[in-house]
Amino acid sequence: ALVTLRQLLDHAAEHTYGVPAFNVNNLEQMRAIMEAAHETDSPVIVQASAGARKYAGAPFLRHLILAAIEEWPHIPVCMHQDHGSSPAVCQRSIQLGFSSVMMDGSLKEDMKTPATYEYNVDVTKRVVDMAHACGVSVEGELGCLGSLETGMAGEEDGSGAEGKLDHSQLLTDPDEAADFVKKTKVDALAIAIGTSHGAYKFTRPPTGDILAIERIKQIHKRIPNTHLVMHGSSSVPQDWLKIINTYGGDMGETYGVPVEEIVQGIKHGVRKVNIDTDLRMSSTGAVRKFLAENKKEFDPRKWLAASTKGMKEICKARYEAFGCSGQA
């Protein structure tokens, strides 16, 4: 059944678990997410980015998600729009039938330039007024995603601030978060706590304190009824990185957010955990390996099935680690 983000995360808060929010771009991803959710009995958040809409087209994405709900009617599914760049973008998604939208007012409409606090409050509040009138949930974002190690947003394309960010922008201020939620009435808030988008988050192996856990605790204490969202939560699995590079790929050395640190975040109010890169890596690794080992094969369903299987392994592992399994 289609559910809102509020419904889904209220349950997660009540039972102290976190829900992975996987980005969806194609059929294989959708099936991987749903088969994993079905096998682990987990609730689902699928999110469509601007890049996904450009790749698959909004109607195809919408119907992929609706098809999933039809095939697995017993699983609660939140259909979420990731990183909306303006109220107009969010309005179109609401019209399309999304049950949740993200208004990312931490950046200007170009999705590159950090915006002022006043701009963020204004656009987010406008989206909340519109969305809540339609029974749709809203996620906002306060602070700029970026690595505390490098000060960089990480991703070259898509959503991420350009240039080097200063330290105060990289960690969401708890007082400002309280004021933001009071003024906008968002259901969920994405916070900056040291993560960044994409595969190149950290240059060195994690030492156990990658996330600003203290900051998460302080924010959760100030706004206990607002569900916290962690973007840039891919773990950049070293086994998939190795498979990619063994079978013809050339990705550089890089590290992500360890699953154990995400689990710590979940203990302190993180309820929605955004993951895109990990599925990209497992899909690409599985396809590279399959094609390298099956050189006579030319039926795309064979290598696409390998892609689905690779992504499904990641999805199952995250549902289990975040305490989501058995909660559908």
How many residues are present in the chain? Answer: 328
Please pick, from the candidates 8, 102, 142, 186, the single residue that binds Na ion as defined by CB under 5 A.
102
Among 151, 158, 206, 249, binds ligand G3H (CB under 6 A): 158
CB of 83 to Zn ion, least distance (A): 6
Instruction: Select the binding partner of residue 283 from ligand G3H, Na ion, ligand 13P, none (C-beta < 5 to 8 A, by kind).
Output: none
Q: Check if the beta carbon of residue 46 is closer than 8 Å to that of residue 3.
A: no
Name the minimum Å distance from CB 292 to ligand 13P: 25
Query: Residue 43 corresponds to which tokens in the numbers above?
Result: 């609730």
The answer to whether the beta carbons of residues 201 and 154 sit under 8 Å apart is yes
Selected range binding Na ion among 2-10, 95-103, 279-287, 311-319, rule: CB under 5 A: 95-103
Give how far Cα 98 sits from Cα of 3, 46, 65, 140, Å. Answer: 10, 10, 10, 16
> Taking CB under 6 A as the rule, does residue 23 contact ligand 13P?
yes
Number of chain residues interacting with Na ion (CB under 5 A): 2
Binder to Na ion among 28, 35, 82, 155 (CB under 5 A)? 82
- Out of 106, 274, 308, 327, name the contact with ligand 13P by CB under 6 A: 274
Q: Which amino acid is at 311?
A: M
* Residue 276, contacted partner among ligand G3H, Zn ion, Na ion, none, CB below 5-8 A by kind: ligand G3H
Does the footprint of Zn ion cover residue 231 (CB under 5 A)? yes
Q: Which x/- pattern over 62-101 shows residues binding ligand G3H (rule: CB under 6 A)?
A: --------------------xx------------------
Q: Do the beta carbons of residue 139 and residue 189 sit within 8 Å?
A: yes
Cβ atoms of 142 and 181 closer than 8 Å: no
User: Bridge partners of 292?
Assistant: none
Q: Which stretch binds ligand G3H (CB under 6 A): 50-58, 162-170, 199-207, 312-320?
A: 50-58
Residue in this structure with the two tokens 């969806």, named with its chain if needed? 24
Distance, in Å, from the CA atom of 315 to the CA atom of 305, rounded to the nearest integer, reads 15
Choosing from 10, 82, 110, 129, the catalytic residue is 82
- What x/- string results for residues 64 through 103 when contact with ligand 13P is judged by CB under 6 A? ------------------xx--------------------
The residues facing 48 across adjacent strands are 81
Residue corresponding to tokens 């039926």? 299
Dihedral sign of CA atoms 101, 102, 105, 111 in order: negative
What does the alpha-carbon distance between residue 206 and residue 236 come to, in Å, rounded to a whole number? Answer: 11
d(CA 193, CA 216): 7
Neighbour count for residue 72 (Cβ, 10 Å): 17
| C-alpha–C-alpha distance, residues 160 and 155, integer Å | 6
The question of whether 82 is a catalytic residue gets the answer yes
Among 198, 269, 285, 310, binds ligand 13P (CB under 6 A): 198
**Residue 18 contacts ligand 13P per CB under 6 A:** no
316 binds ligand 13P (CB under 6 A): no
Question: Binds 52, which of ligand 13P, ligand G3H, Zn ion, none (CB < 5 to 8 A, cut-off by type)?
Answer: ligand G3H
**Which residues form the catalytic set?**
82
User: Which residues are known binding-site members?
Assistant: 83, 104, 141, 197-198, 231-234, 274-277
